[in-house]
Structure 1
Amino acid sequence: MTASNPYLPEIATVVETVQETPTIKTFRVRLNNPGRMAAFRYEPGQVGQLSVFGVGESTFVINSPPTRMDYLQFSVMMAGEVTAKLHTLKAGDQVGVRAPLGNAFPYESMKGKDIVFVGGGIGMAPLRTLLLFMLDNREDYGKITLLYGARSPEDMAFRYELPEWTTRKDMETVLTIDREAPGWEHKVGLIPNVLLEMAPKSKNAVAVTCGPPIMIKFTLQALKKLGFEDDQIVTTLEKRMKCGVGICGRCNIGTKYVCMDGPVFTYAQLKELPNEL
């Protein structure tokens, strides 16, 4: 889609918005050109630039799976000028889309393996893409386990999907919040601690994790305690991307560019990079 001019956005229409949490809003958009929308192809984990005309653009993962192409979904946490403006948009408004950008989760090499998803807060957005893709291709993967946590029930995105995820027979879902809350019937505890309690097996398994940096730090330590090797752990980075095509240098880590070489990396790959995250 971006081959002819990587800086030129495709015009899209917001067809629906969902207020996920007080600070996270989901946008479902369709490209205005029906032919371009029909031909649009991407892989789980790839990102796109959403632009608000006259304000700017920011990078977000496409968190709808390529197996469900009624629209492209982006979930936006309010964190600055562009995201604040995005939060004011409603159905019928126009946005710019530059996508797909970056690499994808290694879903082909994950076939036949058990998958352990560990998500925190808005970090569930990229995991959702891969999770739904795998559920839509269920026969290709082994046991699927999801641990999803947030500070409180109100801080959990995609709450409308949790009833299905927690009752499906072909996956195990554990939900947790940091501290007790009225009416909460699931786990209470920090994600790394709950992960250690769950103790998923590392044999023939891959762990995929995303969330706040402090959560990632201790989740990686927990996974190592559980026997996961560095190349069995996959994460996706959020480091400021501007151009999305490796020219501006805003997202470099040493010689790597998150927008080109990532945003998906194994823990083994991350350990080879300078400590600049």
Structure 2
Amino acid sequence: MKNLYVPQPAVILDITEENFNTKTFTLKFRDPKVQEAFTFEPGQFVQVSLPYIGEAPISLSSSPTEKESFKLCIRRVGNVTNAIHRLQVGDLLWIRGPYGRGFPFDEVKGKNVLAIAGGIGLAPLRSVVNRLLHHKNEFGEIYVLYGDRNPSLLLFKEDREIWARELNLRVICEAADETWKGPIGVVTKLLEDPDIPVENTVAMVCGPPIMYKFVCRKLLELGFKEEDIYLSFERRMKCGVGKCRHCNIGSKFVCLHGPVFTLKEARELHESGVF
């Protein structure tokens, strides 16, 4: 019987510095059979560990259409992620998963998709957007609204250049510098764009908790239904399989029933961050 708690070694193939405290790691399982069998849904996460240091839950940031490797965008915030940031190409990370429920895909084919990201919340939504781009003819209009505190923090430069050509990309920063020519403000300001469709549209949202309150309020004002707004929640997860109860919200566990919930589900769980 397979042990759910045993991680698999993955080799670091490439490291991209996104900003001063965030890197994207491209990895491949050392065992070719494990890599071949590895599949996931955008919005799911893996548990990433280093021996004698610890383990941390990290969202997958690559598209499941990329079969030869996978990507993790990791911000340096604690002991585990600080240690990961010191690694080099060729070093090993230990991975188990994927876990959780991701963003919908087959259920929303034929609809417009509005991806709304704040800060590091773009990491799991990168997985969503690149998968949508791969299946672009199966969906309606695809919009990406992305905001961060300042231009130096913006993630995924090469991806954003592609999205600007192939999709409807809007980027905003709360503070500008001499290089910034775009709009200034918070991401909800981008929802004032009259071109953004509401009818036959689903919204997929990921960012800091405070953002959810104002984004959800604006989406409801625009006419979105609660069941058409999907939110990714972050809780401190340990086991990833619903045993340790660290990620409990009401009657649900984020690692099992989420991390993606509809706004309707979140309200039923009395998740205060969306009110």
Fold in common (TM above 0.5): yes
Alignment of 1:222-241 (within 5 A): 222-241=218-237
2:83 corresponds to = 85
In structure 2, distance between residues paired with 1:41 and 1:116: 24
1:25-57 CA-to-partner distances (Å, cap 9, x unmatched) read 111111010111112121221110110111011
CA RMSD across the alignment? 1.3
Counterpart of 1:51 (choices 49, 52, 56) is 49
Counterpart of 1:6 (choices 4, 7, 12) is 4
Report the CA distance between 1:199 and its aligned residue: 5.8
Q: Point out 4+ residue stretches in structure 1 off by more than 6 angstroms.
A: none
1:200 corresponds to = 196
Instruction: Report if aligned partners of 1:201, 1:226 keep a CA contact under 8 Å in 2.
Output: no
1:115-150 CA-to-partner distances (Å, cap 9, x unmatched) read 011111100011110110011011111000111111
Corresponding position: 1:167 with 2:165:
yes
SS at match of 2:89: coil
Counterpart of 2:177 (choices 178, 181, 187) is 181
Instruction: Report if aligned partners of 1:200, 1:226 keep a CA contact under 8 Å in 2.
Output: no
Instruction: Report if aligned partners of 1:14, 1:94 keep a CA contact under 8 Å in 2.
Output: yes
In structure 2, distance between residues paired with 1:69 and 1:267: 32
In structure 1, distance between residues paired with 2:182 and 2:245: 43
Unpaired segments ≥5 residues, structure 1: none
SS at match of 1:274: coil
For residues 46 and 262 of structure 1, do their structure 2 counterparts lie closer, same or farther at Cα, with a shift above 3 Å needed?
same
1:176-227 CA-to-partner distances (Å, cap 9, x unmatched) read 1012221212221111122123562221100111111111211111111111
In structure 2, distance between residues paired with 1:156 and 1:149: 8
Corresponding position: 1:144 with 2:148:
no
- Count of residues in correspondence between the two structures: 273
In structure 1, distance between residues paired with 2:191 and 2:200: 18
Report the CA distance between 1:255 and its aligned residue: 1.4
2:253 corresponds to = 257
% identity of equivalent residues: 36
In structure 2, distance between residues paired with 1:269 and 1:199: 28
Q: TM-score, normalised by structure 2?
A: 0.96
In structure 2, distance between residues paired with 1:233 and 1:199: 18
Instruction: Report if aligned partners of 1:120, 1:148 keep a CA contact under 8 Å in 2.
Output: yes
Q: TM-score, normalised by structure 1?
A: 0.95
1:101 corresponds to = 99
Unpaired segments ≥5 residues, structure 2: none
